[in-house]
């Protein structure tokens, strides 16, 4: 799970609206019924996440629908037929949803199978919040490429390891279909490394960049 830069670049109408709510100490309209900025938020999140699930890094959409020309006057030009993207907007801390359902810092785009079936309304810990200032996957995690599993970093304290272990489960980093797709990815990657056919440029924009980074580090490949 990568660190994510959540700078809002293109959905500026939503950004201004959110800033106005904060400046005037207003509650957010209901997330479940208010949809004026839904697509602006959805596609700005996907842009920040490079088209991947914020937690599992499985692909949610092609990056060509996330370029600047897809926004006009600060809003996303949504065309249902032309714009294909899976996943749901997910509230990292579910306790914030009732009163601050549109809070940018609490929102991520997440794979459909992780959002409700896995994470749901479970309690969360900011130690694994991907846009946190101090979040660094190499500081929090290790990746066992043989077992195809993320585990807490051995450099963390026992208490921190327990917190990280719990959040790895909450965020679905080793969950079912995600793990199976990542296993196939790892198998192909290792075969290419072993046969000297690995080309870094071929993996730009591909799913599972954090697993890739851990494996390349393990193999001493820059």
Q: Are β-strands 149-152 and 107-110 bridged in parallel, bridged antiparallel, or unpaired?
A: unpaired
What's the pTM? 0.95
Confidence of residue 80 (pLDDT cuts 50, 70, 90): confident
* Distance (Å) of CA 161 to CA 25, 56, 156, 207: 38, 19, 6, 26
Bridge partners of 108?
A: 90
Question: Is there a contact between 49 and 66 (Cβ–Cβ < 8 Å)?
Answer: no
pLDDT tens string 26-66: 999 999 999 999 999 999 999 999 999 999 999 999 999 99
Confidence of residue 221 (pLDDT cuts 50, 70, 90): confident
Report domain extents, the chain.
12-121, 137-218
- Per DSSP, helices labelled H in 125-194 are 137-140, 158-170, 176-194
pLDDT tens string 161-178: 999 999 999 999 999 999
Task: For the chain, give the percent of residues with pLDDT over 90.
Answer: 91
Confidence of residue 222 (pLDDT cuts 50, 70, 90): confident
């Amino acid at each position: 799970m990568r660190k994510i830069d959540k700078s809002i670049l293109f959905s500026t109408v939503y950004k201004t609206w959110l800033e106005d709510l904060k400046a005037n100490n207003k509650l957010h309209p209901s997330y479940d019924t208010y949809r004026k900025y839904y697509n602006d938020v959805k596609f700005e999140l996907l842009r920040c996440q490079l088209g991947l699930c914020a937690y599992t890094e499985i692909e949610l959409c092609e990056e060509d629908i996330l370029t600047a020309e897809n926004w006009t006057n600060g809003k996303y030009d949504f065309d249902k037929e032309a714009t294909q993207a899976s996943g749901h907007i997910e509230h990292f801390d579910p306790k914030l949803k009732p009163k601050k359902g549109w809070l940018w810092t609490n929102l991520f785009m997440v794979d459909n199978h992780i959002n409700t079936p896995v994470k749901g309304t479970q309690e969360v810990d900011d130690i694994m919040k991907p846009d946190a200032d101090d979040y660094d996957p190499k500081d929090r995690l290790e990746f066992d490429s043989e077992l195809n599993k993320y585990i807490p970093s051995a450099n963390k304290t026992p208490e921190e390891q327990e917190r990280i272990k719990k959040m790895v489960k909450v965020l679905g980093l080793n969950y079912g279909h995600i793990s199976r797709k990542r296993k196939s990815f790892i198998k192909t990657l290792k075969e290419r490394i072993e046969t000297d056919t690995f080309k870094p440029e071929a993996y730009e924009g591909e799913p599972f960049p954090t697993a890739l980074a851990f494996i390349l580090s393990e193999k001493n490949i820059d």
